[in-house]
A and B are shown apart, each in its own frame.
Chain A
Amino acid sequence: MADQLLDVKGLKCPMPIIKAKKAIETLQVGQVLEVVATDPGSMADFKAWTKNTGHELLLAEERDGVFRYQIRKMR
């Protein structure tokens, strides 16, 4: 269960990442942010962004053109 849901459907690079960064700032370490997106580039972007920031990508899936990510804030 995510602590916060961020809907970035329809948004394109760079906005999903920018909004995810702003959203994760409002969470406590250990809490989980869930992001739903429609940008196909977001799959590679969220993998790279979590690798870069050190947050943990718990889930990255695509269903019917909707991408869903769960990210645990690590620091």
Chain B
Amino acid sequence: MGEEGRPRKLTIIAWSGDMDKVYPVLILATVAAASGWEVVVFVTFWGLFAFKRNDRWITGKDWMTKMLSLMFRGGSEHLGLTRLNMAGMGPWMMKKVFAKNQIPPLRELIETAVEMGVKIMPCQMTMDALGIKREDLIDGLGESAGAAAALEEAATSDVTLFI
């Protein structure tokens, strides 16, 4: 319990689209939800790409945004690493190591987060700028919003993280 008997609240501004940063976002979010906390994850910039559908590659509204999505397709199964990415070798090895250690894939952790009531808010500005439509994103996300809404969530939280 937090102050005044209300449940504690965690807000994460999830900016990174790197696998090794999206993992802690999902682990912290799911454990907080499992602890009875209210959890909000505001997904913005590269972070939004982690919540793109895995079967959606080319997105965008013109050749430049389409080109960007070609170079970074997003989707929780297609993310790179901040270190030792080595053209996809690093993530491939990391996924193998994680599976061997019974650490669930990101896709499963996202499903668990949604199922546990974690509110995932896509950044409308990122969606507009990069031409990412609602149907390009996975199911189960909350309503899209902007910085004011993200700040309001942060201001009413006990813990706020930027990852």
Known: A14-B31, A18-B31. A52 touches B102 (CB 8 A): no
Residues of A within 8 A of B101 (CB): 12
Q: Quick one: CB contact mask for A28-57 with B, threshold 8 Å, 1 for yes? A: 000000000000000001001100111000
Say whether A49 contacts B104, CB under 8 Å.
no
Task: Bin the interface of chain B by size.
Answer: 10 to 19
Q: How far is the CB of B26 from chain A (nearest CB, A)?
A: 8
Q: Specify which of A10, A12, A21 is in contact with B34 (CB 8 Å cutoff).
A: A21
Is B8 interfacial (CB 8 A cutoff)? yes
Q: How far is the CB of B10 from chain A (nearest CB, A)?
A: 11
Is A15 interfacial (CB 8 A cutoff)? yes
Say whether B36 contacts A12, CB under 8 Å.
no
Main secondary structure of the interface of A (DSSP, over half): helix
Counted as pairs of residues, one from A and one from B, with CB atoms less than 8 Å apart, the total is 40
Is B82 interfacial (CB 8 A cutoff)? no
Is A5 interfacial (CB 8 A cutoff)? no
Say whether B103 contacts A54, CB under 8 Å.
no
Main secondary structure of the interface of B (DSSP, over half): loop
Known: A13-B27, A52-B8, A54-B1. A18 touches B35 (CB 8 A): no
Residue on B nearest A55 in the bound complex, by CB: B36
Q: What's the Cα separation between A54 and B2 when bound, in Å? A: 11
Residue on B nearest A13 in the bound complex, by CB: B27
Residues of A within 8 A of B27 (CB): 13-14
Within 8 A of A (CB), among B100-153: 101-104, 109, 112, 116
Known: A14-B34, A49-B31. 20 other contacts (CB 8 A): A10-B102, A12-B102, A13-B27, A14-B27, A14-B30, A14-B109, A15-B102, A15-B103, A15-B104, A17-B34, A18-B116, A20-B34, A21-B34, A45-B31, A48-B35, A49-B34, A49-B35, A52-B36, A52-B37, A53-B35
B residues at A contact (CB < 8 Å): 1, 8, 27, 30-31, 34-37, 101-104, 109, 112, 116
Could you list 9 A-B pairs, sorted by A, with CB under 8 Å? Answer: A12-B101, A12-B102, A12-B103, A14-B27, A15-B103, A17-B31, A21-B116, A54-B1, A54-B36
